[in-house]
A and B are shown apart, each in its own frame.
Chain A
Amino acid sequence: MRLCAFSICHKYGIIIAIDNVSLSLESGEFVGILGPNGSGKTTLLRVLAGAVKPCGGTVLLDGEDVHKMRPKPVAEKIAVVPQNGYIPFPFSVFEMVMMGREPHMTRFSRESPRDVDIVSQAMAATGVTHLADRSVLDLSYGERQRVVVARALAQEPGILLLDEPTSHLDPGYRMEIMDVFKSLSRCKNIGVLAVLHDVNLASQYADRLIMLNQGKKVADGIPREVVTKEILESVYGVEAIVRTHPAVGCPQVMLVPGFRAGQGEDNPAGN
């Protein structure tokens, strides 16, 4: 499966959100999208998922224009984990995850034992099996996020789009859920595209990183090409030190706090 975007442009009123961005995502690839707040990451993801029709450019899913397809065939191939949304009613965790099977069911069909199996596996993969009968409203944000990820897994997608999937998770679950995504891309050959805030996490997991700034793509390549002092400093406007992760070998960044000068006694960058 292949998702390609060609020269996407999008505006909100007169504000340019995305400015001529092209990208591609292949099966089995793990791509991270980085960029400061307001750089158009979420808009780009919504355009790719077909939720927002861009002002210019096309998105092709296996050669078919996503914005001309009906939502159902798109949902059979692409699953999306959005940022935490508002849930008005106390659906149970099991019901929520079962909603991931909707694209594969017809209007009058009922959940088959196979659907139940897939849902159980998805819940096990994100560690929410023990919550199955609980109401989603009673869960913490981190738990809710794992439920939504389980729902996306239950969709059995070929492409997985993630909008900051780790934002509410503690470091343990953060690594665990990123491991789940990584293994999906490796073992099940799913293309994963994740908007991430954490540069270090992105560098550890992504095969390829795309850096956005003010709606433009400023870098696209393997982590070693994108996580560099020059790019980080120009995009985020802070002083950065880039080192190699001692265990994994990918570049890791340490930001230098602005108030350091003159404090002297505690100098984290001085190694």
Chain B
Amino acid sequence: MRAWDVVWKARRLVERNIMVYRHQWIVILSGVAEPIFYLVGIGMGLGGLVQTVKLSDGRVISYTAYVAPALLATAAMNGAVFETIFNVFFKLNFAKTYDGILATPMGIGEIAIGEMLWALMRATLYAVSMLVLMVVLGLILSPWAILALPVTLFVAATFAATGLAGTAFLRTVQDFDIPMGLIVMPMFLFSGTFFPVSAYPTPIQLFMQATPLFHSISLIRGLTTGVVGGQQAVDFAYLLGFFSLMMVIAMRRMERKLIK
């Protein structure tokens, strides 16, 4: 009951963000272009050169079909992390917007969940447009792909929670290059996004397999290419655990930052 109250009240923050973007909705809409540029660029450019990739079940698929689900996952990650890290940091530290909101019956939980819901709404827009493009380009290889949308949103939620948890630790704008340079960028490059992690020596592989992006990509790629099995169950369990952990950290840190 309490938890539902919080989620229900959190819609006010979504309302606020809609009010802010009411006159700039085109900024949000234009964000659709980004993953599409990547899919077209990487697909046509590298896809034409690399041509094919062999999956773990032995099937050989086109490189574009291999990369597309990974781009979907990384787009979900980037969108969620940017929205939470940059925007929330700004409101937390410079605009003091949340201090004003906290003087009302809205609490920290409502704010955190509201920001996440908003990030998810944007992620939905981007994920849907990406999936439509994948259907058009013939990059969906399995009916399991029907689950790709909810899973992508879950991935976005996980990274939104991670971003919220991280934001509360940052003190200055200069600190941003630490999470971006040391966590987001390496994950983007080394989570099986552009090539199978099996290309690397075992210790590095183990390290790569520990990242949440690896499991996100593995799960979504499994669904769009039709490789669904034990690995995907592990991916889902991992993400669920990671999501819960990040939510707890995010709430605790926000509370410490906002309540003195």
Asked if A and B are interacting partners, one says no
- Chain B residues with a Cβ under 8 A of chain A: none
